[in-house]
Amino acid sequence: AVRFEGATGIGSHIANCSIHNGWGWAFHATASSNIKVEGTIMFKFIAFGAVATSVSNFTMDGNIVAHTTERDIDSQNFARGMIAICSRPEENKCSGLKITNNIAAGGAYAGFVMPASNCGDDSKYRDNVAHSIDGYKGGVGAVIFPDPSEPA
């Protein structure tokens, strides 16, 4: 429904909107910077609600992503989440992430899929809620994986 690709200007902002009922993803930002999504409801999409890949200075604050369903045939072999931040398997380094105060509800597989943050750093992710997550062999609230932009 909404896509930012190569948006690297002074910034883009979506606020207090409703995006609903689609056969694809509700929101996708890729190869972009200075994007802010806040106070927006994304309802009834397939496979993903909100996705960010290869982004910098990306903020999601106070959004509700609800009712995402699986595709019948899905060739995407990576973790699918209602809010999937930098989770695609290709080259995907992200920086300046702030994912706060969001709700992921009523989805398949995972509420949130995103790279880990450093211990004690609560500025990247905080106050997010996942509930009513279902999926093959059970759903999970969050899938956290090593951050590719932070060498081990």
Q: What is the pLDDT of residues 13-39, one digit of tens each?
A: 999 999 999 888 899 999 999 999 999
Give the pLDDT confidence of 79-108 residue by residue, as tens digits.
678 899 988 767 678 899 999 999 999 887
Question: For the whole model, what pTM was predicted?
Answer: 0.89
pLDDT band at 123 (very low <50, low <70, confident <90, very high): confident
> Is the separation of the CB atoms in 21 and 46 below 8 Å?
no
> Is the separation of the CB atoms in 31 and 3 below 8 Å?
no
Site of tokens 């300046």 = 96
